[in-house]
Structure 1
């Protein structure tokens, strides 16, 4: 028996069959959008992250990490934004109640 792969297979033996080549799994588009929105518009990242994780679980597409990252970044930035607004309101109320006034320089 010859070791040359170009030689025909001997009588009664089948040719070696190559397995079909599959490309990489398609990345879920909404997962990419979730990651971008998680950074730019945090609540949008939360919404898109949740939806894309459900789609990925159903379809088996790639992008689970991006969807999770968009969701987590969106949650963190939304919480930080809420804390900032609450802090700003508390400071504004404290300034009004303390009677702090701006000196307009009446001369």
Structure 2
């Protein structure tokens, strides 16, 4: 009997294991299952080990949470979409709580980034307004 290496292909450099018994639970492909061992039934589930439970599938991510983060980050370039992203983030967090979906961190990041960028935008607009008012009210140094 020649021992076949993993992948069920032969390699002349692979050592021959003629004297060692083959594991009857894992026959080499194409060989019959030895007497006393039955093939596992169809739909055979993975074995359960005590203390280890399989992970439950993760819930789907809320699409509005993704949109909130994208709009908030796009607010860096456009300045208009930042408050939209923050508002979408608030709506997404409410939907996530109600539906049990994932993406709470995305929604929270959209809220934080959106409101920070909105605040910075308001400060920049206020700065420009003050500069314009000062420019209008300043006395001109020219006399006619």
Question: Which stretches in structure 1 are left out of the alignment for 5+ residues?
Answer: 9-15
Q: Equivalent residue for 1:37?
A: 71
Question: Which stretches in structure 2 are left out of the alignment for 5+ residues?
Answer: 1-24, 27-36, 39-43, 49-53, 75-80
Larger Rg: 2
Q: What's the C-alpha RMSD, in Å, of the aligned pairs?
A: 2.9
TM-score scaled to structure 2, two decimals?
0.55
Q: 1:17 to 1:84 in 2, by over 3 A?
A: same
Q: Which has the higher helix share?
A: 1
Q: Equivalent residue for 1:82?
A: 122
TM-score scaled to structure 1, two decimals?
0.73
Q: 1:34 to 1:99 in 2, by over 3 A?
A: same
Which segments of structure 1 move beyond 6 Å, counting only runs of 4 or more? none
Aligned pairs, how many? 94
CA shift digits 1:40-78 (9 cap, x unpaired) = 211111110000000111111110010000000000000
SS of residue paired to 2:137: helix
